[in-house]
């Protein structure tokens, strides 16, 4: 939680990724991370989701604070 506050103070965007299984269409996870831009958020969100939840997933990324 402290890291999120530090990132927020530095002007980074806090994002939330929701991971859905593409076969069963069920939510399999959710995590929060920070990024400097929308492009970085997309790359980072997919990379983290892939390492945590494997393949056959869909990742929806939303900005929760700036």
Confidence category of residue 65, pLDDT binned at 50, 70, 90: confident
Query: What average pLDDT does range 47-54 have in this prediction?
Result: 95
d(CA 49, CA 59): 7
pLDDT of residue 11: 59
CA proximity to 55, closest of 16, 17, 28: 28
pLDDT tens digits for range 10-46: 658 999 999 999 999 999 999 999 999 999 999 999 9
The architecture CATH gives domain 2-65: Roll (3.10)
DSSP letters of the chain? -HHHHHHHHTTPEEEEEEEEETTT--EEEEEEEEESSHHHHHHHHHHHHHHHH-SSEEEEEEEEE-
Q: Is the pTM of this model over 0.85?
A: no
């Amino acid at each position: 939680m402290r890291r999120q506050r530090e990132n927020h103070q530095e002007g980074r965007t806090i994002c939330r990724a929701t991971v859905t299984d593409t076969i069963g269409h069920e939510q399999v996870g959710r995590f929060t991370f920070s990024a400097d831009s929308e492009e970085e958020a997309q790359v980072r969100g997919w990379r983290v989701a892939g390492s945590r939840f494997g393949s056959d997933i869909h990742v929806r990324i939303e900005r929760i604070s700036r």
